[in-house]
């Protein structure tokens, strides 16, 4: 039986990789100018890192983690997101010691056992950025401005930025109580999960995908009416900074996000082009998490974008441009083939992409291959050319041919290629 990828996992094929690389390289440039440094945490962590940070009652932790047990009976999980790992590393290596403000980014695969559908995979890649050490709204604005700038640089428009404030441990309980009362009066209309959530974690009901529950929360109280003065000022200043940066946004009081560590600002950048998987990026502030995981009381904010979703949007917008080799060298006969092997190596070492035929083939077959590869020029060298010391250089588009000196061929070709 043929072995194929498992459900929800996919190969990123050579034709797609170009967009991935462009995205990664643009993200690196953007992160550099915003002063972010890369960190590479491992893919496997202790399960409790995720249950203690993302929250036991979230879908991610309760149903979606790939968990195994090691030989000592300890639970290990493939990371479902990067923030918990970055926070662990921040605490474990005391990254705050030299510089109280740490700006870190990471790229890589995440694993969630969700039901696969368009834009949703079980292994997916995130580009993730976090700022540690600043409680104020300016770092919230910085993260959002940076995310929007990255989308702009890669050429993606038409996105909608949704923002909300989830308040702080002082004011959120008041809202939680109010929401609980509201939901308790409507339990008949809620799904079984949301009935349970009403008791344990009512804000999670906003995140439920069941239509009936969506209906119930449409008229639910708004958290923005319950947050305290400090949270209100914080959120107001953030909006001011966004307006000053010409970034438009939608206030969405139902944006709670699927992870429990958030406080104050949450945001999501959405598209209407990916069906129900409409979030291209999401993030927020998590001021209590570093302390909760055993570190100092340091605030933080961050975001992550989903690479597959972004690549899907970019590929819809742009035609894929495949790279083509500069040159094909067709060697005809034993002696020429050996010579060609040497020239090819030399040209490649000097940074020029050259292709040849591995098997011994006639001129027609080699020219066909050169055409298929889309090369610009082909150099033809057989016994006659070796004898005369002049190869034939053919322009594959115009079919015009000219002679090139085979003495010092590499230098001659390098000069030619500069003019192509
Ligand atoms: P998240 O909203 O769970 O946040 O994921 C961020 C982004 O990852 C989503 O907006 C989406 O684009 C992508 N994504 C999530 N799940 C999938 C999936 N199954 N398939 C494809 N793409 C997916 C976080 O992970 C937080 N750690 C973000 C953060 C960083 N908050 C603070 N710092």
374-404 pLDDT, tens digit per residue, is: 999 999 999 999 999 999 999 999 999 999 9
Quote the ligand 1 centre to 183 CA distance (angstroms). Answer: 27
Which of 115, 282, 284 gets mutated to test ligand 1 (max ligand atoms within 8 A of its CB)?
282
Ligand 1 pocket by C-beta < 6 Å: which residues? 81-83, 112, 114, 119-121, 124, 126, 128, 130, 258-259, 279-284, 302-306, 308-309
Helix H or strand E encompassing 354: strand 354-355
Which of 49, 78, 275, 306 gets mutated to test ligand 1 (max ligand atoms within 8 A of its CB)?
306
Q: How confident is the model at residue 54 (pLDDT cuts 50, 70, 90)?
A: very high
% of residues, the chain, pLDDT over 70: 100
Please name every residue paired with 37 in a beta bridge, in sequence order, or none if there are none. 104
Looking only at the bridges linking them, the beta strands covering 102-111 and 37-38 are parallel
Q: Residue with the nearest Cα to atom 17 of ligand 1?
A: 120
Cβ–Cβ under 8 Å, residues 266 and 164: yes
The rounded distance, in Å, linking the Cα atoms of 280 and 267 is 11
Least Cα distance to 120 among 215, 258, 17, 218 occurs for 258
- Rounded to an integer, what is the distance from CA 347 to the centroid of its chain? 35
Higher pLDDT, 41 or 208: 41
The rounded distance, in Å, linking the Cα atoms of 397 and 419 is 15
Q: What is the mean pLDDT of the chain?
A: 95
Quote the ligand 1 centre to 4 CA distance (angstroms). Answer: 26
DSSP SS3 for 46: strand
Quote the ligand 1 centre to 195 CA distance (angstroms). Answer: 26
pLDDT for 120:
96
- The DSSP symbol for 271 reads -
Q: 274 pLDDT exceeds 80?
A: yes
Q: Residue with the nearest Cα to atom 32 of ligand 1?
A: 302
Residue-range domains of the chain with CATH? 14-171+227-317 (3.30.930.10), 327-419 (3.40.50.800)
The rounded distance, in Å, linking the Cα atoms of 69 and 150 is 39
């Amino acid at each position: 039986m043929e072995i194929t990828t498992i459900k929800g996992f996919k190969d990123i094929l050579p034709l797609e990789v170009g967009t991935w690389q462009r995205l990664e390289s643009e993200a690196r440039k953007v992160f550099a100018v915003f002063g972010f440094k890369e960190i590479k945490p491992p893919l496997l962590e202790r399960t409790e890192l995720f249950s203690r940070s993302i929250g036991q009652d979230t879908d991610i932790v309760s149903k979606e983690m790939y968990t195994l047990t090691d030989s000592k009976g300890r639970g290990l999980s493939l990371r479902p997101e990067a923030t918990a790992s970055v926070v662990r590393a921040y605490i474990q290596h005391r990254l705050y010691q030299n510089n109280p403000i740490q700006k870190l980014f990471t790229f890589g695969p995440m694993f969630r056992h969700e039901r696969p559908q368009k834009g949703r995979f079980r292994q997916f890649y995130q580009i993730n950025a976090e700022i540690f050490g600043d409680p104020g709204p300016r770092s919230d604005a910085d993260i959002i401005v940076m995310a929007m700038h990255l989308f702009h640089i890669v050429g993606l428009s038409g996105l909608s930025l949704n923002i909300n404030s989830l308040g702080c441990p002082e004011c959120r309980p008041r809202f939680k109580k109010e929401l609980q009362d509201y939901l308790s009066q409507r339990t008949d209309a809620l799904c079984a999960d949301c009935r349970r959530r009403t008791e344990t974690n009512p804000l999670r009901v906003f995140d439920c995908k069941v239509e009936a529950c969506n209906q119930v929360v449409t008229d639910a109280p708004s958290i923005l009416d319950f947050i305290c003065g400090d949270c209100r000022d914080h959120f107001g200043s953030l909006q001011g900074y966004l307006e000053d940066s010409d970034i438009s946004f939608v206030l969405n009081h139902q944006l709670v996000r699927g992870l429990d560590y958030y406080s104050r600002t949450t945001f999501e950048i959405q598209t209407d082009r990916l069906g129900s998987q409409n979030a291209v990026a999401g993030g927020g502030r998590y001021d209590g998490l570093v302390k909760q995981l055993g570190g100092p009381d340091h605030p933080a904010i961050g975001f992550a974008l989903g690479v597959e979703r972004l690549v899907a949007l970019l590929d819809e917008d742009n035609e894929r441009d495949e790279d083509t080799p500069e040159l094909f060298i067709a060697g005809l006969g034993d002696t020429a083939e050996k010579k060609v092997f040497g020239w090819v190596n030399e040209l490649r070492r000097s940074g020029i992409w050259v292709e040849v035929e591995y098997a011994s083939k006639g001129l027609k077959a080699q020219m066909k291959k050169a055409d298929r590869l889309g090369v610009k020029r082909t150099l033809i060298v057989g016994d006659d050319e070796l004898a005369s010391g002049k190869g034939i250089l053919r322009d594959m588009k115009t079919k015009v041919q000219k002679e090139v000196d085979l003495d010092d061929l590499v230098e001659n070709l390098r000069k030619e290629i500069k003019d192509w």
